[in-house]
Amino acid sequence: MGSSGYVVVIKSVPGLRDGEVLSSYCHLPGSRLSLYVIHQIIHLLTSWMTMTTAPKFVQRIYQAYIPENKPSGMKVAEVLAKDADSGVNAVIRGDGTIFTRRPLDYEAKRVHTFTVTARDQGEQVQSTNINVIVHVIDTNDNAPKCVFPDEYNHTVSLPYLTKIGSLITTVQAYDADSGRNSHLSFQILSGNGHQTFKLDSNSGELFYDNTFIIRKDSVFRLNISISDQGEPSLSSTCVLEVMLTHTNMSMEPFSDDDANNKYVVICVIVVIITIFFSTVLITVIIIIRRN
């Protein structure tokens, strides 16, 4: 402090030349400053001169879309932050590149959300956080699984004379994937002798379509394929046993159209018989009158 009442604070700080003036002047004519007041002024001026800003991310939020099952170490995203300070205060630790530590699994977790922090290297460390959202893209990595029939429940039975077109059962299956990868189609590969059954390719519903006569109980072992619509397509197979139980009736199973046809035939036969007996009766009457 000089006789004029000016206080000059000289302090060496990182980034400034030794002995550079750090403060302004404080004019207090005719008064003396206590050591405490001088220390407070020095502290305030030092804090003001050394104040730094926190880093700022270029985007408000970062989102990435990554296919599942990619190997560990795959680059997910790169976050970028800037610092308006200079020197070491503007240096941000790390380069902001995000990698996977293990393969991602869509079926286990579809979205990963976490926070990334950017810190500068100033004496008074400043930091900023940003949210990162990683969306896992589904790939066709799961084959369809059959629920019915299965190893323990794979048999159905129906009477041989069941009406044609009747629903017998439904093949049930699911796929753990999503979208087109989970859309299923059904097909009978083998065991459908005489084309006894029809399988709806979309629903898995099995219908009775028998048009031949059987003389005893018959078992059909249907080998069924279930495929998804993914690229490439994945499939699985299951076996369904269908038993046709025979009855003592020897007539062929028939549909409504067949029944109508049979009634027509019966009517024709009745008419023919009627005409025949009428003709015989008339002939007999004529012969009796002549005699």
With beta carbons less than 8 A apart as the criterion, state whether 56 and 81 touch: yes
The predicted model gives 206-214 an average pLDDT of 86
In this structure, what DSSP letter does residue 232 have?
A: S
Q: Tell me the CATH number for domain 160-245.
A: 2.60.40.60
* pLDDT tier at 110, thresholds 50, 70, 90: very high
What distance in Å separates the CA atoms of residue 170 and residue 148, rounded to the nearest whole number? Answer: 8
Q: Is the pLDDT of residue 39 over 50?
A: yes
95 or 11, greater pLDDT:
95
Residue ranges per structural domain of the chain: 6-49, 56-137, 160-245, 254-291
pLDDT of residue 22: 39
| Average pLDDT value over all residues in the chain | 81
Whose CA is closest to 225, among 194, 180, 177, 191?
Answer: 191
Q: Which residues contact 146 (CB under 8 A, 6 or more apart)?
A: 171, 172, 173, 224, 226, 236, 237, 238
d(CA 183, CA 265): 48
CATH class of 56-137: mainly beta
pTM (global) more than 0.85: no
**Domain 56-137 identical in fold to domain 160-245:** yes
Model pLDDT, residue 210:
82
SS3 label, residue 218: strand
* pLDDT > 70? residue 14: no
Please give the pLDDT value at position 27: 46
